[in-house]
A and B are shown apart, each in its own frame.
Chain A
Amino acid sequence: MKAVWLIIHREYNQRIRKKSFLILTLLGPVFFALLLIIPAWLSLRKIDNQKIILVYDPAHVLPEDFVKDGIFTLHRFPDNYSGEEVFTRFSRSDSYTLLYIHNPEKASLFFHHDVNPGTKAWISNLLNRIYVKHLLNEKLGEDQSSQLPTEVSLNVQLINPGHGGMDEARNGLSMLSGIIIYLFIITYTMQVMRGVVQEKSNRITEILLTSVKPFQLMLGKITGIVLISLTQFTIWFTAAFLLYQLFDIRYGESLDLFGNEKISETISNHSIDIKQAMEWNQLINTFSGIDIPFFLIVFGFYFTFGYLFYSAIFAAIGASVDSETDTQPFAFPLTIPILISFALYQTLIEQPDSSLSVFFSIFPFTAPVTVMFLLPYHLPLWQLICSMISLILSFMLAVWFAAKIYRTGILMYGKKITLKEMIRWLRA
């Protein structure tokens, strides 16, 4: 055990002092920032579209020349449209909202189903103002209307189907976390493989093997590198946690004002920029819809075991070849399953229950990426647990196989190894 510890210690100490560690440690947060910023940005883009309000007003309650109020633009449906036609067009449109005016006394506001409460509050609030103002002006004249109460509650209804901001945010988070876990696993796994090839090609291996068993050497190397990555994660998460605390202390209270519970109140009571308030509400909704600690734990698990699984295999490959260029024919085919899961991204997230998605989330080569894809959507607990167990078992199996290949390959020089030979070593 002492020998393994020494190998781990050396591996860790050498790598933590390297420039590449520093660069990756600084670059990591950039990746994470992208992970947060891009979904948020995607969801904010939607807010611009919310300015368009579709109006169906066959009774001509609103004046014809009224097409704009603040940031709203009203698009009217022609009078000869049937109600059915109006709804069909609305559900296909980018607009969230349909103002359906039955008669001067009754109007309904329709939203796509997944519009968040903040947006609804904002739009209802403003439409109330517009609608009531115009209605009263028409009936009573401007002087009298200003003395009357202006709140008339609109009948708010929801309509299917939707394509709201949450979906955009989910999409971004799911795709990006897949890409990031892929990049991390490959980066660290390649370090293991390169390390093994270097030790083999500069022949230090032979000296090490007089003191340690091949398996111990392999284990020490893999563990040393996993500790490096965990150090990196610890640095990142500590920094993120501290930043969050700082943010919460400074802005936490104000953030509450933009949450779903208070957003209506905030918009009516405070003289603030409504559009900005909506953006904050949208951001809060994007991230409160996702359980971030759970997400990070799952990410950490799949990174660690995905890395361990792949690195055992790549260590065996590194041990079987003489130089880094010789690793290509073996390394490339092993990354193909991951590439396939990227290619099938859309199919996977659209049908998270399909047998294809279930298979990809459990098959060890694709599990880390696929689970990250599905996590922001729908991933039943049993599927997650099966996938985790499968990955742990595959990792143990991979280490067992890899140790056999490593043991033989590491002392073999000047010979191109074929897959057939590797299989023979396994039987040895």
Chain B
Amino acid sequence: MNLLTIKNIRKQYENTTALSDISFSIPKGSILGLLGPNGAGKTTLLRILTGIIKPDSGKILFYDESIEKVHFEKIGYLPEERGLYRDMKVEEQLIFLGSLKNVPRHVLKERIHFWLERTGLGLYRNFRINQLSKGTQQKIQLIAAIIHDPEIVILDEPFSGFDILNTQLAKDLILELHKQGTTFILSAHHLQSIDSLCTHITLINSGEIILNDSIQSIKKNMYRTETYKISGHGSLTNKPQSFEIISVKNYGEHIEAVIVSKNSSTSNQILAELAENVMITSFFEDKPNMEEIFIKSITNTK
């Protein structure tokens, strides 16, 4: 079931098209990585999904209802550039933001207590934001995004500016909520930061979707390169039957090479041929990382 369905969304700013006819959907329970270079239209898309701005045309469905104010209350949002009221106390601030999402005060108080304890910030309940360290403020911002128990949480560059410990804590939180059924959109221009979390990837460039799929099918389709990296002792035969040599480096007896399968040879057949001349120490498929898929997809569409 899709939690959000985006249908033919367009948004134009004066002379530039921020989004041109975007359609995709976000399955319930997924962690969707929204990727794209700066200026691709990510922020515009997120602002439309959070109800901050309206699209020029197109439709967004929340399950199968056209999205409205009540639905926006079920969305949590952590903007890329984040801030809180610096002179407000932690608890007041969270109550204020939660109340705006129509959560009753007593429920908020319980949740605030729970999340502050969970993130080790129980002591800071009555501190003003400007009395807290940057890392602590970031945790509070994250709590603010989930305090109303949203069905879907949109985090724009979720770990930017986080230190290692906070990044880990935030990842744990995301996985914990994901387990409980919360859907996530993680937006980033750096893929590595969210690589390990995502179940789905959507690539956006120049206001258009250029890839939208689950991690598994992306892996299935794009990871099969039949390129291998090998290392070992010995030398490669001049005219191998099962593979072609892309590059080779000799360090005396030690060699490192990149080879690619030919004539539909399987990895076992290649290994067998290699083993005749080389004492193999390592052999693995040279998978492109997401970064490379990303670049490849963008250049393909150009």
Interface residue ranges, A against B (CB under 8 Å)? 2-3, 6, 10, 14, 18, 199, 201-204, 206-212, 411, 413, 424
Query: Which of A3, A203, A208, A411 touches B47 (beta carbons < 8 Å)?
Result: A411
- State whether the Cβ of B246 lies closer than 8 Å to any Cβ in chain A: no
Contact between B97 and A207, CB atoms less than 8 A apart: yes
Query: Which of B81, B82, B100 touches A211 (beta carbons < 8 Å)?
Result: B100
Contact between B72 and A210, CB atoms less than 8 A apart: yes
A-B contact pairs, 23 of them (CB 8 A): A6-B96, A6-B99, A10-B85, A10-B88, A18-B87, A199-B85, A202-B85, A203-B79, A203-B83, A204-B84, A204-B85, A206-B79, A206-B81, A207-B77, A208-B100, A209-B51, A210-B72, A210-B75, A210-B77, A211-B72, A211-B73, A411-B47, A424-B14
Q: Which residue of A lies closest to B148 (CB)?
A: A211
A18, B99: Cα distance in complex, Å: 23
Contact between A3 and B100, CB atoms less than 8 A apart: yes
In chain B, residues 76-131, which have Cβ atoms closer than 8 Å to a Cβ of chain A?
77, 79, 81-88, 96-97, 99-102
Task: Give the contact-size bracket for chain B.
Answer: 20 to 34
- State whether the Cβ of B52 lies closer than 8 Å to any Cβ in chain A: yes
Do A209 and B52 contact each other (CB < 8 Å), given the known contacts A203-B83, A204-B85, A411-B47?
yes
- Kindly list chain A residues whose C-beta atoms are within 8 Å of the C-beta of B75: 210
CB distance from A206 to the nearest CB of B (A): 4
Binding site secondary structure of chain B = loop
Nearest 5 A/B pairs, CB to CB: A202-B83, A211-B100, A203-B83, A206-B79, A203-B81
Query: Which of B53, B72, B79 touches A207 (beta carbons < 8 Å)?
Result: B79
Q: Which residue of A lies closest to B76 (CB)?
A: A210
A424, B101: Cα distance in complex, Å: 33
Contact between B72 and A14, CB atoms less than 8 A apart: no
Starting from the known contacts A10-B85, A207-B144, A413-B81, 7 additional A-B residue pairs (CB-CB under 8 Å) come to A2-B102, A10-B88, A201-B83, A206-B81, A207-B77, A207-B79, A411-B47
Q: Which residue of A lies closest to B154 (CB)?
A: A210
- Kindly list chain B residues whose C-beta atoms are within 8 Å of the C-beta of A209: 51-52
Q: Mark B44-82, 1 if CB is under 8 A from A, else 0.
A: 000100111100000000000000000011010101011
- Kindly list chain A residues whose C-beta atoms are within 8 Å of the C-beta of B51: 209-210
- Kindly list chain B residues whose C-beta atoms are within 8 Å of the C-beta of A211: 72-73, 100-101
- Kindly list chain A residues whose C-beta atoms are within 8 Å of the C-beta of B82: 203, 207
Contact between A14 and B52, CB atoms less than 8 A apart: no
Q: Mark B140-178, 1 if CB is under 8 A from A, else 0.
A: 000010000000000000000000000000000000000
Do A14 and B87 contact each other (CB < 8 Å), given the known contacts A210-B72, A211-B101?
yes
Q: Which residue of B lies closest to A206 (CB)?
A: B79
Contact between B52 and A206, CB atoms less than 8 A apart: yes
Do A210 and B86 contact each other (CB < 8 Å), given the known contacts A3-B100, A6-B99?
no
CB distance from B83 to the nearest CB of A (A): 3
Query: Which of B47, B84, B96, B99 touches A202 (beta carbons < 8 Å)?
Result: B84
- Kindly list chain B residues whose C-beta atoms are within 8 Å of the C-beta of A199: 85
- Kindly list chain B residues whose C-beta atoms are within 8 Å of the C-beta of A3: 100
A413, B100: Cα distance in complex, Å: 24
A10, B99: Cα distance in complex, Å: 11
- Kindly list chain B residues whose C-beta atoms are within 8 Å of the C-beta of A2: 102
Q: Which residue of A lies closest to B73 (CB)?
A: A211
Contact between B52 and A411, CB atoms less than 8 A apart: yes
CB distance from A47 to the nearest CB of B (A): 52
- Kindly list chain B residues whose C-beta atoms are within 8 Å of the C-beta of A204: 83-85
Q: Which residue of A lies closest to B46 (CB)?
A: A206
